[in-house]
Amino acid sequence: MSNIKVNRERSALSPEEMKGAKNFDALLQQYQAMHPDRSGLPRGMGRKRWLAMGLAAVSLTGIVLFGWMIVHRVHTRGTHPLLSAALRRGIVNPPIPAANVMLTAYSVDAAQGAVLSYPTGTHILVPAHAFLDEKGAVVQGAVRLQYREWHNPVDIMLSGIPMNYDSGGQKMRFESAGMMQMLASQNGHPLSVNPEAMIQVNLRTTDTGSRYNLYYLDTLSGQWVYKQKVRTNPGITFAAGKQAGAGAGDRTPQTDGGLGVAAFPSDTDMGDLPQKPVEPVAADPSRPVFNIAVNEQEFPEIAVYKNVQFQVTADEQHFNADYEKLTWNNAVVKPGTEAGTYLVTFERFLNQQGKKQSITFKTRPVFTGGDLAAAQEKFHQLFAAYQEKLEQKRAAAKAARGKDSLQFAQKVRIANQLLQAQADTLVKRQQQFIAAMQLQNQQLLNRAFNVSDSLFTLIQVDRFGFWNNDAPYPFAGARTRKASFVLMDEEERPLVVADLFFLIKSKNSCCLIHPGQSILSSGLVYTLNYDPEEANLFWAITTDFHLAVLDPQDFEFCMKGNRDELVKLKLKVSPRRFSDATEINQYLMDNSFASDNEPSSGK
């Protein structure tokens, strides 16, 4: 362990440091950013999941073969591995979680309450102080309320919510006129309803009548609990309430209206400035001075003065006093790199062939004697004029800048507004599209299952969870017959399914059917009571997420002449797997009602 560092008696983490580092909101945001489409199925599991499911199917098939080798021995429910998964699972089990209706989230100010709208037309009236925490105290602040509904048989199937009901020992199935689930939490902690301020849901319903009751699902026992007869209302009016928008569950895109940085006028850009006059300086008597006539046009700042002389600067080290004794033929003046200095180059010819000597010194313009006073007076005049011009320039530049900056800010504001409007339009279109799709799906299914769609059930929610507006109907009746069957695919091979659902076209119902107590070489045996006068059909979801359908005509055909014998129901299995609710809807509709020749049905 020579490459291991050892720390001795390091300082411990203080409670404040621990608390400061804790940030669930940031963690949740990070999680949501990494998994924006997590809707039930694990991401990236694709091939592995199908491989696992394939292996499970192979294993199950192997167990079926083993059962066949035992020569038709009957196994009890408690020991045989080929029992329906629903028997072992909990109460609510969506068969394809990704296709289930998603919870819509709202943020509600608990102290104020809110009126919430759901895309189906349902309204949720949340009064003030409607929430209690785990200790029973009234909750203040923002509450996360989540809500969803199921209305049609496909949604009900995909919800995994049980639709069987035990009415005093009599087994019934539910025909639903709308189901909903509501949850509330604050900072991840579940809340309950304040009995003194109960939430009212005006649930859009697909049917009405005295046979409909309101039920609440007890998720511990898995039983529906009768609450009351439903109250329906064809129209909803509310007192003006506070509208709350969707909260964290909404996918409204965020816009920042960024435009990028436009070029903005510089503060120092004032255009051409007036020439600053050179301040006259007295000559230093210890150093030599030169008299040089300068071009007025080239050096106007010097030409304004009279009798300007040039003196070598104190830091000039190349000057030699002997140079004064020489006769120079020419002198050239240039502005120096330092303000107020000039470079003077002296030249003299050394021979007739043109050989020259030149030396350059840094100099300053200076004045001596009375020339200095006159120059200083001149300087003051010039400088005053210069200052005035400078101020005028600055004022003009400032005015120009102000106008430009105002225009720039306006441009930014307008651009931001345009971007925001585009984003809002996009969101609105998305929401309209989703609502239209939902409505279209709903209307499609409503037409298929003979239900209306313009009523509302009033539900007073005294607890969060699953609520159902249902009309129970018995398993067995005067016309019902008992059927025992095994499932096959179209090639008459045993079909193993994860879930089997039984539907009656005239009822908005979709019930999970559990296998019976026996298994044969041909598969699990199911039994159920059915009304031959109804259009009965089956939907199934296989263990690898294929859909399987037996339409009413095929069921009727299978049951003809086989009343007391084991029937083989041949389901049509989809060629591909499904995980999207819309596609599932479409496939089941396309394959469930192929013919118009259906038995007459009545409610």
Partner 1 sequence: MISSTFTGMSSYHQLPAAVQSDQDCVVRSLEDMALFQPLYDKYYESILGFIYLRVDSKEEAFDITQQVFLQAMSNLRKYSFRGLPFSSWLYRIAVHEIGNHFRRNRQRECINLEERHLKNVADELPDGEQDIKMEILAGCLQALGGKDFELIQMRFFERRSFAEIAEILGLTENHAKVKTYRLLEKLRVKLNRNR
What is the binding site for partner 1 (CB under 8 A)?
Answer: 1, 3-10, 13, 17-18, 21-24, 26-28, 30-32, 34-35, 38, 42, 88, 90, 103, 144, 146, 183, 185, 187-190, 248
One-letter amino acid of 254: Q
Residues 6+ apart with CB under 8 A from 585: 154, 441, 444, 445
Contact 484/213 with Cβ under 8 angstroms? Answer: no
Give Cα separations from 405 to 52, 373, 411, 412, 414 (angstroms): 64, 47, 10, 10, 14
Contact 462/193 with Cβ under 8 angstroms? Answer: yes
Q: How far is the CB of 142 from partner 1 (least distance, A)?
A: 12
Structure tokens given for 426: 């996009």
- Nearest of 296, 263, 299 to residue 278 by alpha carbon: 299
Q: How far is the CB of 215 from partner 1 (least distance, A)?
A: 21
Q: How far is the CB of 33 from partner 1 (least distance, A)?
A: 10
Phi and psi based region of residue 15 (left: phi greater than 0; alpha: psi -120 to 50; beta: remaining):
alpha
Q: How far is the CB of 63 from partner 1 (least distance, A)?
A: 18
Tokens 């939430």 map to which residue?
Answer: 199
How are beta strands 566-570 and 481-488 bridged, if at all?
Answer: parallel
Q: How far is the CB of 119 from partner 1 (least distance, A)?
A: 19
Residues 6+ apart with CB under 8 A from 30: none
- H, E, C per residue of 19-71: HHHCCHHHHHHHHHHHCCCCCCCCCCCHHHHHHHHHHHHHHHHHHHHHHHHCC
CB nearer to partner 1: give 49 or 568. 49
The vertex-485 CA angle with 482 and 491, nearest 5°, equals: 150
Q: How far is the CB of 70 from partner 1 (least distance, A)?
A: 28
Of the chain, the end-to-end C-alpha distance in Å amounts to: 80
How are beta strands 309-312 and 289-290 bridged, if at all?
Answer: antiparallel
CB nearer to partner 1: give 222 or 258. 222
Give Cα separations from 525 to 511, 514, 546 (angstroms): 17, 9, 20
CB nearer to partner 1: give 46 or 474. 46
CB nearer to partner 1: give 88 or 135. 88
Q: How far is the CB of 54 from partner 1 (least distance, A)?
A: 17
Residues 6+ apart with CB under 8 A from 603: 450, 506, 507
Q: How far is the CB of 173 from partner 1 (least distance, A)?
A: 25
Q: How far is the CB of 586 from partner 1 (least distance, A)?
A: 26
CA torsion through residues 514, 516, 519, 521, sign: negative
CB nearer to partner 1: give 189 or 306. 189
Give Cα separations from 589 to 18, 160, 514 (angstroms): 56, 19, 23
Q: How far is the CB of 84 from partner 1 (least distance, A)?
A: 15
Could you give the CA distance from residue 319 to residue 289 in angstroms, rounded to a whole number? Answer: 12
- Side-chain-side CA neighbours of 252 within 13 Å: the count stands at 18
CB nearer to partner 1: give 90 or 235. 90
Structure tokens given for 109: 């100010």
Q: How far is the CB of 132 from partner 1 (least distance, A)?
A: 17
CB nearer to partner 1: give 17 or 462. 17
Q: How far is the CB of 226 from partner 1 (least distance, A)?
A: 25
How are beta strands 223-229 and 213-218 bridged, if at all?
Answer: antiparallel
E strand or H helix at 143: strand 142-150
Contact 194/135 with Cβ under 8 angstroms? Answer: no
Q: Which long-range contacts (CB under 8 A, 24 or more apart) does 136-139 make?
A: 138/110, 138/194, 139/110, 139/186, 139/191
CB nearer to partner 1: give 3 or 254. 3
How are beta strands 546-550 and 536-542 bridged, if at all?
Answer: antiparallel
CB nearer to partner 1: give 186 or 341. 186
CB nearer to partner 1: give 4 or 350. 4
The alpha-helical segments, DSSP class H, found in 484-551 are none
CB nearer to partner 1: give 22 or 325. 22
Could you give the CA distance from residue 100 to residue 155 in angstroms, rounded to a whole number? Answer: 7
Structure tokens given for 128: 């003030």
The vertex-328 CA angle with 326 and 330, nearest 5°, equals: 170
Q: How far is the CB of 35 from partner 1 (least distance, A)?
A: 7
CB nearer to partner 1: give 26 or 478. 26
CB nearer to partner 1: give 27 or 373. 27
